[in-house]
Amino acid sequence: MYTAKFKGKFLPWLFLSPTLLILVVFLYYPVVQTFVLSTYRVAFLGLRKKFIGLDNFVTLAQDTGYWHTVWVTLIITVVIVVGGLGISLAIAMLANRKIRGASIYRVLLIWPFALSPAVTGVIFLFMFSPGFGAINYLTEQMTGTELNWLGNPRLAITLIILASIWRNLGYNVVFYIAGLQNVNTEVLEAASIDGATNWQRFWKVTFALLSPMSFFLLITNITYSFFDLFGMIDIVTKGGPLDATNVMIYNLYRDGFEYYKTGLAAAQSVILFALVVGLTIIQFRTTGTRVHYGG
């Protein structure tokens, strides 16, 4: 068997150098700078810096407003992940049935993922806006009351969750359909012969065989909930009302680019990074151990 080899040990590094250069300049260096800035108090536009150690983290730990932001982020993340994956799996199972025009239905289900979070935010802003929103008009006709989706804290957070689940629906459905099409039908037939009910076949067989796909989607949806909600929240609610939708990534942006608290924003970035990494490690050590690969 022929194996290609590079002539000289420096040639591979030469080919890799453009990629490595981009990674160092635009990824690794900013990450290191973020960790460094988190230990400084930075003046307006970075004109002066004063080393303060862990004071920024102590300030955040003592700030009840920041703890509220953390809880809001966790609540939104849990609902988006659990609700989004549950709805996506149900839709994927319906779309996986052999019916006429199934491919058309699948394409229609997938297209929302092509939209950016900001565009999704604009769509839902127009649909739920008081006065002229289509959904708001329908709810008013049915209930006789106009709902203030943007002014009520509970309705605002519900709106963000609905928009996020809808936007990520296509992505989840694509992967679940791919997983369902690879489920071994012989295993399902054997379970049916053994007297398993529809629910038992789904939970014990189908869902178990989809565990690698579910685990992957769990990680990607959590990452989406922590980082990609910024554009949608900035368009729809600006973190309001009463900070009801002020998630960690948006709070970081406000402190860094509106209030120019660069050191404090860097500390929040480090906390967000550590939180996501910690949750991912926990998932690999708990949920990941129950993932079954292969037929």
Q: What domains can be seen in the chain, in order of their start residue?
A: 62-290 (1.10.3720.10)
Written as one string, the DSSP assignment of 131-145 is TT-HHHHHHHHHHSS
Residues 233/250, Cβ–Cβ less than 8 Å: yes
Vertex 254, ends 248 and 258: CA angle to 5°? 170
The reported pLDDT for the residue numbered 294 is 57
pLDDT band at 288; cut points 50, 70, 90: low
The torsion defined by the Cα of 56, 60, 63 and 66, in degrees rounded to 10, comes to 140
Confidence grade of residue 289 (pLDDT, cut at 50, 70, 90): low
Q: Which parts of 96-205 fold into alpha helices (H)?
A: 102-110, 117-128, 134-143, 153-181, 185-193, 198-200
* pLDDT (mean) for 199-222: 86
List of residues 6+ apart from 43 with CB closer than 8 A? 49
**Range from 102-111, 239-248, 284-293 that averages highest in pLDDT:** 239-248
Distance CA(103)–CA(8), nearest Å, equals 51
pLDDT confidence bin for 138, thresholds 50/70/90: confident
Taking residues 176-200, report their average pLDDT: 82
Res 277: pLDDT: 87
| pTM score, whole prediction | 0.86
